[in-house]
Amino acid sequence: MLRIIDARTGEYVTAAPARRGLTRVEAHASGDDTGALRVLLVADVLVRALELGGTPVLATLPAGGEPAKLREAAAALGIRPFEEGRGPGDGVGGAQALHVVRAGAETPDGVRIGVGPVLTPVSASRDADPAVLRLALLSHRHGEPVALDETALGSARDTLVRWRGAVADWARRPSRPVPEEVRGRLRAAWEDDLDVPEVLRTLRRVEEAGPQLPDGARFETFAYADRLLGLELTRDLGSPS
């Protein structure tokens, strides 16, 4: 069961209501800077995690929507569109609401998921590949600050290239199911306040596992985790080796 730390109280709350009723995830991404983009990204991952658990989700933005520049950047990062201007008066008042906000925000009322600031030198992030930027942002817990310097982006770029190449290679082997122990670790990580860094660490352990783990199982593991991560890890399937 997905649990989130409410930024108002510091206490865990259950993100999915009883009987898998509708949950509304509202992203409060004011502005068009990288911090606003991170708010949308955390909301996107939250929606993915809820859907993986079988919870129906409505992803929304407050009235007024998002600036065109932010919308374009969000699409490039693989963030799925949010419905604009939906709220309690629009037929979803009975849904549980989770508000994804910048850390320290005092509004709105209700469960708040705080998103830490992005410390972003313009020269380091302006021309970053969107998937690289997504991975760099996902490499930290959502409430922590992120420094997007050349080291962080370079590490994310190297990891993404290596994983996409490995996934394409593993796909050439006979398919094998995701080991239940690994599946359990992945779900336990993202269901614990969206601990995406632990998801990434689990994938690194799978990558480095010895021959006792078939390549087909590695492929299925990475493809399964990418339903949460949204990094297009299977993008290079079928490319020349």
Buried b (16+ CB within 10 A) or exposed e, 8-34: eeeeebebbeeeeeebbbbbbbbebeb
pLDDT score of 86 = 57
pLDDT digits (tens, 9 = 90+) for 211-237: 899 999 999 999 999 999 999 999 988
Overall average pLDDT of the 111-120 stretch: 93
pLDDT score of 16 = 79
**pTM of the entire predicted model:** 0.93
Q: Reply yes or no on whether the pLDDT at 91 is more than 60.
A: no
pLDDT digits (tens, 9 = 90+) for 21-72: 789 999 999 888 999 999 999 999 999 999 999 999 999 998 776 778 898 9
Tokens of 21: 């009723």
Helix, strand, coil shares of the chain, percent, nearest 5, are 45, 15, 40
- The amino acid occupying position 183 is R
- Per-domain residue ranges of the chain: 3-116, 117-232
Report the first-to-last Cα separation within the chain, whole angstroms: 40
Overall average pLDDT of the 151-170 stretch: 95
Nearest residue to 90 via CA among 129, 68, 117, 62: 62
Nearest residue to 203 via CA among 172, 238, 235, 166: 166
